């Protein structure tokens, strides 16, 4: 060790046989063991615990590089292994030299040195040939440890590398990949399932195919039906076509005729138009209209002139007739004067009438005013009478009211007195009853008292006698007290229950109490009998006296009551007297009130009558006054005289006028003024008429002249207008020409309308095609008709319609069939669209079948492998187990110097041993710790032997394995190891580290020569 832990440049040479390396604690035994292990295997631990992290634990304390080398022999060649420790195995510098040949050896892995030379992994090394302190006990080690597995494999399969369980598990795992344990998963299961699904799908596909064929057949039959209907429809259409072609031919013919007619009309129209063409214009409606209007106006002017001539003639005639009828003439001045006189006369007559009326009215007014005054006087009188009656009535009402108040008061008193009377009666009755009760009780009390007095006296005497005899008065006193109490209580109860009168009983009770208490004194002085007797007698007398006094009081009280009763009776009498008096008084008052009431009623009636009269008079007066005021005519008697004078003056003037008018009437032979007036106005009217006729005649003559001028102008206009077409000389000539032209124009219009109509009635045929084209069409049609000849024979429009309908109906049916075919086909297509067919499925089936076959073969092969493995394992259990046991037993026997002859190890490494003298196995639990350690050491040595059986023996390193052993066992162990290391047939290098001197002392001093050495660290 160049630098390793505490060691520097330290070397230790081990011999080939048994080596005991001795060193005290802390001297470095464990460090040397760690060095050996780390030289071969390095160290890759990552523990943070320094004591467990070997690389850090043994890093030199002085900070030098951790480094060392080992020289060892293998396969009879010597090797030198050098290692400079870095931070990890990968940074360690490792060199290996073959010292025999001097060649450096290339290493695959720095860690593999141990594996390569020792044939063991690090873990296996540490647990098999590298036995640490306490390391013989492997029972507690983890099953997952490599060594445990290896031991397990070794014990069960004969090979450390081969584990039955692992192999069986792997086969099982592979099988479960194909078929899981619950047979629900796995490649094979999945494929089987796929197969089932495919077979199902195949069946479905077959059924689908059948169905498809069926649907196809149905579709075909539908198509056939459709075709049949189609043929039928075509045949019908052929016939229809033939008929329609014939019709079309007719149409074309008609169109050609229409075309000819149209052209003819057009030519005629042109001819007419030429005729209407004049010198300066083309005659049209407006030209003719104007011409006609001119003629018409000329004619009317001529007629007008003739009419005027006629009128003049008749007016002249009328004038001459008028002259013959001229009336008698009255001068306008005379007429006016006469009319004025008449008017004046009428006004005077009216005035006379008015004045007469006025006089009559004034007279009436004066009479009415006098009557009103009389009425006013009557009214004043009536008012006075009414006022008087009202005063009398008020007085009476006052009196009656006072009387009512008095009666009211008297009745209130009467009521009070009545109540008082009733109250007093009740009191009287109660007092009388009380007095009666008091008397009765008084009589009873007196009787009882007398009896008690008698008893008392007797008792007193007896008591006195007793007191005398026994000088014992105490009881008497108690008895009196008892009586007093009884009396008192009885009085209280009676007073409360029956009458307050019984309170008097208390007096008796109190009077008894006194002597009861008084007896004490008596008893005190009872020794003096005569004095006592005297006192007692006096006491009894007092008692009686008091009792009588109480009765007297009662009697007095009763008497007072009786006196009260008498007073009360007196009061009652007084009340009753007053009451009857009062009743009388009330009665009188009521009679008086009734009288007053009657007077009052009469006064009321009178007052009412006076008031009524007053009202009537007032009403009449008011009316009279109103009438008076309303009267238009008001005036005095003086006015009346004046009026009568004026009237006579008027009458004189009237007479004068009458005589003047009479003279005028006479002159004109008029009967009256009306005739006179008529005559005057007739003359006036005649004059006016004459003037009017003369004026009219003048006007007519004027008009006649004007008309003549206008007629001439008009004639000229006409001739000028006609000259635009052709010159004429007279209106008559013009009229004839106009007639001709009008006829021509009408003709032209007619033709034009005809042409328009023909134009309008042109059809598509002649509009779309020219005559030539139509003629070609006609020709083509003729050819086609020739082909279909006979098809339309006997056809008419009705049949055609029927054929068309049939064809249409067939067409609909065909469409329906088409739709049905399309729907059915689409439906079927959609149904199978995503379905694989039988061939596709068969292809998949074929592939799956192949895979399944292979999977099944795999599964069967795995199953077979598993079966054979199990058989082999059973064989191993039978054969190899004993081998380990045998070897262990052999070592154990040697280790224990034959104490135990048999040891058995089971698969769990539990140990059972058989002692020499007993023939049964004992489980390890029953053994001592030392024995168990021995047994395990035996097992480990046996296994190490078996592991290295076919190779070079490995060195065995042991660190104080006998620590737990007693001296005998330790010695036996040491001897065994010595023997084990030096066996002739198979010698092992054994290195035992110890700190126990006993082992060193047991070593033979000569042992170095015998392949054994003791080394001191």
Partner 1 sequence: MGSELNNIPERANQRRIEILGTFRRITQICTAEKVDLLLIAGDLFEGANHSRDITRSVQESLSKIPSRVFIAPGNHDYLALDSPYLESGWPAQVTIFKTAYEKVELADLNVTIHGGAFEKTFVETSLLKQMQPLEKDKINIGVFHGDLVGANQGSPYHPIREQEIADSGLDYLALGHIHKRSPVKKVGNTTYAYPGSPDGRGFDETGVKGVYVGEISKGRADVVFRPTSSRLYEIVEIDGSTIQSQTEAEVAIREFLKNKYGAGWQNNFYRVRMVGTVEMNRSFLWPAIEAKLSEELHYIRLIDETSLALNLEELAKENSLMGSFVRRMLQRREATDNPQELTQIKKALEYGLEAFRGEVRLRDY
529-630 and 332-470 helices, crossing angle to 10° = 180
Minimum distance from residue 119 beta carbon to partner 1 (Å): 13
Give the shortest CB-112-to-partner 1 separation in angstroms.
Answer: 14
Residue number with CB closer to partner 1 (407 or 943)? 943
* For partner 1, the closer CB: 202 or 1013: 202
Q: Which is nearer to partner 1, 494 or 820 (CB)?
A: 820
Contact at 8 Å (CB) between 42 and 110? yes
Neighbours of 161 (CB within 10 A): 9
Name residue 957's beta-bridge partners: 130, 991
Of 864, 871, 901, 869, nearest in space to 886 by CA: 901
Which one, 691 or 871, has the nearer CB to partner 1? 871
Shortest Cβ 860–partner 1 spacing (Å): 6
Closer Cβ to partner 1, 199 or 850, answer by number: 850
Contact 32, 1017 (CB under 8 A): yes
CA distance 895 to 972: 6
Report the residue number, 178 or 956, with the smaller CB distance to partner 1.
Answer: 178
DSSP-derived pairing of the beta strands 990-994 and 911-915: unpaired
Distance in Å, CB of 202 to partner 1, minimum: 10
Q: In the numeric block, which tokens belong to residue 471?
A: 């000088």
Least distance between partner 1 and beta carbon 116 (Å): 14
Q: Residue 65 carries which DSSP code?
A: P
Distance CA 814, CA 223 (A): 9
Query: Of 477, 621, 491, whose CA–CA distance to 536 is shortest?
Result: 477
- Classified as helix, coil or strand, 513 is helix
Q: Which is nearer to partner 1, 293 or 822 (CB)?
A: 822
**Torsion, CA 447, CA 448, CA 454, CA 455, rounded to 10:** 160
Residues 575 and 422 sit within 8 Å (Cβ to Cβ): no
CB of 143 to partner 1, least distance (A): 19
CA distance 58 to 6: 8
Q: Which two tokens stand for residue 506?
A: 């208390």
Q: Least distance (Å) from partner 1 to the CB of residue 229?
A: 22
**Beta carbon of residue 254, minimum distance to partner 1 (angstroms, whole number):** 47
The distance of closest approach from Cβ of residue 8 to partner 1 in the complex, given in angstroms and rounded to an integer, is 42
Q: How much of the chain is in helix, strand and coil states, percent to nearest 5? A: 75, 5, 20
Rounded to whole angstroms, how far apart are CA atoms 447 and 186? 138
Cβ 231 to partner 1 shortest distance, Å: 22
Whether residue 876 contacts residue 164, with contact meaning beta carbons closer than 8 Å, is answered with yes
- Please report how close the Cβ of residue 153 comes to partner 1 at its closest, in angstroms: 9
Closer to partner 1 by Cβ: residue 171 or 575: 171
DSSP code of residue 949: T
Tell me the three-class secondary structure of 110-151, residue by residue. Answer: CCHHHHHHHCCCHHHHHHHCEECCCCCCCCCCCCCCHHHHHH
Report the relative pairing of strands 956-959 and 130-131 from DSSP bridges.
parallel
Can you tell me the distance from the alpha carbon of 763 to that of 772, in angstroms, rounded to the nearest whole number?
Answer: 16
Residues facing residue 1013 across a β-bridge: 19
Minimum CB distance to partner 1, residue 1010 (Å) = 35
User: Are the CB atoms for 931 and 923 separated by under 8 Å?
Assistant: no
Closest contact distance (angstroms) between CB of 923 and partner 1 is 27
Burial (CB < 10 A; 0-12, 13-18, 19+), residue 542, is: middle
Which lies closer to partner 1 via its Cβ, residue 178 or residue 294? 178
Nearer to partner 1, 158 or 278 (CB): 158
Task: Name the residue nearer to partner 1 (CB basis): 210 or 465.
Answer: 210
Q: Which residues are within 8 A (CB) of 92 and not within 5 positions of it... i.e. 6 or more apart?
A: 42, 83, 84, 85, 86, 110
Q: How far is the CB of 861 from partner 1 (least distance, A)?
A: 4
Give residues in contact with partner 1 (CB under 8 A): 156-159, 161-162, 164, 166-168, 170-171, 173-174, 177-178, 187, 206, 209, 212-213, 215-216, 219, 825, 828-829, 832-840, 847, 850-851, 854, 857-858, 860-865, 868-869, 871-873, 875-876, 879-880, 883
Partner residues linked to 990 by β-bridges: 18, 956
Q: Which is nearer to partner 1, 763 or 854 (CB)?
A: 854
Would strands 990-994 and 18-22 be described as parallel, antiparallel, or unpaired?
parallel
Which of 753, 755, 773, 784 lies closest to 255, judged by CA?
773
CB of 170 to partner 1, least distance (A): 4
With 0-12 CB in 10 A as exposed, 13-18 as middle and 19+ as buried, what is 849? middle
Helices (H), 896-1009: 929-947, 967-981, 997-1002
As measured in angstroms, the least distance from the Cβ of 904 to partner 1 is 20
CB burial of residue 295 (10 Å; 0-12, 13-18, 19+)? buried
Shortest distance, position 910 Cβ to partner 1, whole Å: 22
User: In terms of CB distance, is 184 or 854 closer to partner 1?
Assistant: 854
- Nearest residue to 89 (alpha-carbon basis) of 114, 64, 61, 72: 114
Smallest gap, in angstroms, from Cβ of residue 49 to partner 1? Answer: 34
What are residue 669's phi and psi, to 5 degrees?
55, 30
Q: Distances from the Cα of 662 to the Cαs of 332, 656, 905, in angstroms? A: 18, 10, 203
Closest CA to 196 of 840, 852, 854, 834: 852
Instruction: Report the alpha-carbon distance of residue 732 to residue 722 in Å, rounded.
Output: 12
Query: Distance between CA atoms of 845 and 843, rounded to whole angstroms?
Result: 5
Residue number, 163 or 511, with CB nearest to partner 1: 163
């Amino acid at each position: 060790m160049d630098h390793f832990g505490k060691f520097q440049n330290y070397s230790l040479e081990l011999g080939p046989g048994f080596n005991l390396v001795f060193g005290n604690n802390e001297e470095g035994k464990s460090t040397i063991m760690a060095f050996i292990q780390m030289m071969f295997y390095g160290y890759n631990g990552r523990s943070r615990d320094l004591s467990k992290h070997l690389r850090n634990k043994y890093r030199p304390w002085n900070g030098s590089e951790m480094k060392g080398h080992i020289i060892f022999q293998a396969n009879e060649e010597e090797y030198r292994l050098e290692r400079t420790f870095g931070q990890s195995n990968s940074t360690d510098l490792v060199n290996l030299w073959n010292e025999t040949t001097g060649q450096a050896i290339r290493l695959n892995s720095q860690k593999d040195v141990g594996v390569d030379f020792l044939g063991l992994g690090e873990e296996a090394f540490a647990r098999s040939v590298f036995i640490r302190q306490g390391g013989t006990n492997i029972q507690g080690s983890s099953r997952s440890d490599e060594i445990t597995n290896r031991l397990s494999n070794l014990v069960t399969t004969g090979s450390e590398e081969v584990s039955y369980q692992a192999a069986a598990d792997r086969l099982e795992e592979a099988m479960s990949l194909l078929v899981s344990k619950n047979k629900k998963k796995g490649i094979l299961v999945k494929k089987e399932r796929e197969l089932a699904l495919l077979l199902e799908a195949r069946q479905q596909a077959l059924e689908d195919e059948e169905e498809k064929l069926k649907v196809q057949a149905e579709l075909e039959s539908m198509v056939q039906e459709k075709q049949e209907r189609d043929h039928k429809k075509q045949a019908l259409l052929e016939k229809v076509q033939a008929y329609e072609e014939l019709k079309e031919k007719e149409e074309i013919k008609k169109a050609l005729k229409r075309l000819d007619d149209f052209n003819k009309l057009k030519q005629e129209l042109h001819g007419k138009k030429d005729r209407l063409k004049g010198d300066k214009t083309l005659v049209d409606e407006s030209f003719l209209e104007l011409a006609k209007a001119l003629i018409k106006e000329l004619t009317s002017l001529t007629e007008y002139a003739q009419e005027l001539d006629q009128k003049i003639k008749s007016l002249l005639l009328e004038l001459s007739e008028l002259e013959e009828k001229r009336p008698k003439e009255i001068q306008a001045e005379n007429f006016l004067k006469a009319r004025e006189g008449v008017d004046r006369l009428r006004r005077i007559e009216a005035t006379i009438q008015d004045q007469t009326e006025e006089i009559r009215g004034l007279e009436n007014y004066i009479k009415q005013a006098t009557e009103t005054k009389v009425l006013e006087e009557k009214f004043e009188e009536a008012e006075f009478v009414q006022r008087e009656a009202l005063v009398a009535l008020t007085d009476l009402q006052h009196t009656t009211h006072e009387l009512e108040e008095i009666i009211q008061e008297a009745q209130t008193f009467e009521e009070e007195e009545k109540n008082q009377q009733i109250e007093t009666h009740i009191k009287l009755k109660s007092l009388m009853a009380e007095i009666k009760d008091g008397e009765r009780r008084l009589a009873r009390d007196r009787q009882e008292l007398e009896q008690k007095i008698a008893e008392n006296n007797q008792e007193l005497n007896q008591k006195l006698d007793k007191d005398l005899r026994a000088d014992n008065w105490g009881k008497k006193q108690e008895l009196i007290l008892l009586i007093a109490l009884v009396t008192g209580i009885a009085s209280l109860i009676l007073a409360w229950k029956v009458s307050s009168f019984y309170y008097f009983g208390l007096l008796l009770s109190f009077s008894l109490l006194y002597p009861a208490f008084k007896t004490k004194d008596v008893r005190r002085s009872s020794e003096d009998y005569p004095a006592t007797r005297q006192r007692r007698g006096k006491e009894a007398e007092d008692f009686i006296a008091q009792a009588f006094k109480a009765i007297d009081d009662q009697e007095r009280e009763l008497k007072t009551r009786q006196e009260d009763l008498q007073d009360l009776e007196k009061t009652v009498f007084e009340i009753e007297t007053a009451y009857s008096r009062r009743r009388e008084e009330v009665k009188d008052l009521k009679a008086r009130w009734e009288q007053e009431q009657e007077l009052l009623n009469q006064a009321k009636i009178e007052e009412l009558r006076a008031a009524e009269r007053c009202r009537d008079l007032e009403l009449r007066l008011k009316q009279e006054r109103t009438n008076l005021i309303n009267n238009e005519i008001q005036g005095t008697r003086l006015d009346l005289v004046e009026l009568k004078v004026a009237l006579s003056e008027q009458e004189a003037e009237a007479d004068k006028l009458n005589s003047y008018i009479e003279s005028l009437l006479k002159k004109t032979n008029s009967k009256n003024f009306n005739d006179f007036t008529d005559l005057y106005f007739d003359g006036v009217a005649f004059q006016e008429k004459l003037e009017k006729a003369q004026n009219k005649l003048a006007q007519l003559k004027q008009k006649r002249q004007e008309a003549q001028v206008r007629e001439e102008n008009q004639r000229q206009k006409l001739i000028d207008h006609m000259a635009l077409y052709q010159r004429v000389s007279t209106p008559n000539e013009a009229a004839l020409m106009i007639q001709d032209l009008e006829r021509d124009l009408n003709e032209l219009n007619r033709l034009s309308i005809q042409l328009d109509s023909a134009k309008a009635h042109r059809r598509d045929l002649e509009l779309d095609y020219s005559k030539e084209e139509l003629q070609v069409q006609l020709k083509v049609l003729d050819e086609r008709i020739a082909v279909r000849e006979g098809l339309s024979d006997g056809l008419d429009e009705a049949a055609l319609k029927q054929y068309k309908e049939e064809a249409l109906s067939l067409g609909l049916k065909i469409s329906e069939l088409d739709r049905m075919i399309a729907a059915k086909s689409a439906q079927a297509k959609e149904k199978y669209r995503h379905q694989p067919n039988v061939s596709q499925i068969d292809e998949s089936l074929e592939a799956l079948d192949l895979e399944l076959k292979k999977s099944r073969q795999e599964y069967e092969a795995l199953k077979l492998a598993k079966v054979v493995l199990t058989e082999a394992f059973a064989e191993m259990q039978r054969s190899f187990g004993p081998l380990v046991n045998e070897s262990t037993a052999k070592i154990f026997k040697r280790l224990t110097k034959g104490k135990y002859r048999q040891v058995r190890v089971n698969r769990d490494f539990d140990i059972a041993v058989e002692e020499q003298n007993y023939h049964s196995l004992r489980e390890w639990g029953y053994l001592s710790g030392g024995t168990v350690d021995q047994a395990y050491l035996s097992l480990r040595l046996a296994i190490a032997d078996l592991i290295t059986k076919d190779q070079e023996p490995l060195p065995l390193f042991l660190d104080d394995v006998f620590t737990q052993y007693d001296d005998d066992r330790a010695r036996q162990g040491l001897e065994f190891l010595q023997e084990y290391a030096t066996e002739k047939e198979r010698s092992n290098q054994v290195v035992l580290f110890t700190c126990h001197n006993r082992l060193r002392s047991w070593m033979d001093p000569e042992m170095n020569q015998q392949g054994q050495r003791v080394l001191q660290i």
